[in-house]
Structure 1
Amino acid sequence: MQLLPVVAALLLLEARSTVQLCAPDCTAMSEGDKVRDPTNCLRYYYCSDPEGNGDMVPSSDPISCPTGLYFNAAESVRECEVISGTQYCTDLCSPCALVCEAPGTLLANPLDCSQYKVCLEDGSTIDTGCSGNFPFFDYQTGFCSKDPSVCYDLCDPCEVYCATEGKVPDPRDCRSYYYCDPPVLAPFTCPENEVFNPDHLFCEVSASGNCTNTC
C-alpha cells in the first residue's frame, strides 16, 4: 500500500487515520448475544461465530423490537423493553456523517472510496483523494490501497438515519425532508417550486426548477 499524500504535513499537522465505526459491535460477545443498532434505538442485532474461530459478527440485518418497545443496551439487560420517559433514545450515530475528533485525522468519504478528508484545527475538512495504482482509501489504516474491499461501506445513502434532532434530507424526494427527533421521523414537503438544500438544511427556490434525488 501507498502512504497517503502528505496534505496534513502541509498544514503542519500530524496525519493519522481513524476508525469511526457506526456499526453493531459484537466484540467480547457470546453466541446468541444481542447488541444495539447504533443508528436506531428500536433495533438490535444478534451475534454469532460463523466459522467457529471465536470471531463474533453481527447478523446481516437488524431486528426490530415490537411496537412500543425499545432495545435496552445496558449490559445487564440487552433486551427489548417498554418505552418509558423521553431519554431512552440517545447516543446514536449516523454512518454517513463522520466527525472530526482531532486535527490531522483522516476520514473516509462515505460515498466515494477514491476520496478522503483531512480534519483541520477548526473542525472543518479538506477533500483529497487516492490515485494511480492505489485508488482505494482504506478507512481503517489511513492508507491508499489497491484492494477495493477496504472501502468504507457502512453508509447507505438511501436510508434515512435519525441520530440527532434536526432536519434530514429525503433521499428519494429532493423536494422533501424529515424532522428527526430520535427515533421519530416527521415528513415535510417544501413549498411549491422550492427544493430542499441538503447542505444548508432549508427549502429554497431552484433556479432551474429541477432537482435530483439521491435514490
Structure 2
Amino acid sequence: MALLFITATTAQNIADDEFTSGVLRQASTDDILYPSPAACGSGQLTICVGCRTVKICVGTDDTANPTQICPSSAPFCNIAEGGCSTIPDDTQDACSEASENLKFRCTGKGKYPDPLSCEGYYYCSGVDRSDDAYRCPSGYTFNSKVQLCQRYYRGCQTVNCTTNGPIIKVYPPNSQYFYYCQYNFADSTTDPSIVMFSCGDSATFDTSANKCIYKCRKEGLYAKSSNPNAYYQCYWYNGRLTYIERSCPQSTQVFDDTKKLCLAHTGDSGKRHHEHKHY
C-alpha cells in the first residue's frame, strides 16, 4: 500500500491555491473605437466615435474635441441617437461583445457578484460609474463573502427573477447584497434587468425592515464601504450598542477610516489593486 506524505510546504501550496483573483474581461476604460469615425458637424453637440465613447463637439478643430466613456446609466453610444444611450448600436457589429459586458449597473463602490453567473463578478468605482467585469479561472467560482474566486466553492447561486415574492430580494449566498428585477412591461419578450445593491461590509439586508442593518463592533466611527461619502457612528443607548448613518458635509469628500475624518477625495486608490490580467 502506497503512503501519501504531505509536507508542510505542500499543504501550504494547496491552501494558497484555494483562493485567487479574477481575470479582467472588460476594463471600464477600454472601448472598441470606430476605425473611421465621423467628424463633428454643424449644430451637433455630441457624436459617437466608439461603442461606448462619445465626442463632445465644443470647437471647430475636431481633433481637439474631447472624448469620454459613456456612464453606466447610459453605457452605449448610439449613432442614431447621437450620443450615450441605454440601447446599443446595432449598426456596428464590433459593438455586440461590448454590449454584453455592460449590462451590469453600478449602484455603489466595491465588488458585486454577477447575478447571472457564479464564475464572474464586477468592480464598481461608484454609483453610475463604468464597471470592470472579471471572470474566475476554470475550476473556481466567486465567493462574495471573501471577495475572491475559490476552488470547489459550492455556495454560489444565481438570481432567478420571478414576479412572486417581495419586490426587493436578498441575494441568496450573501445577505450583504440585495437586488430587484426591473421588467420592461412594454416588451414582454425581453429579459428583466437585474439591479444589484450592496449594504457594505458588516451590514446585511433585512427583508422585514426593508433596509440594510449595520452591526457595530464597538463604539466609534466606521466607514461605509459601499459609499465612500458616508460613515456609521456607533454608540451606546439604553444599554444597547446602536448606530446612526451620517454623510460627509460635502459630496466630494470621503470618510477616512484611519483618521476618522471626512477628507478631500484624492482618487480611487482601492481600485483594482490586484486584478491586472486581461483576456
Q: TM-score, normalization: structure 1? A: 0.31
Higher RCO (C-alpha 8 Å, min separation 6): 1
Q: Which has the larger radius of gyration?
A: 2
- State TM-score, norm by structure 2: 0.25
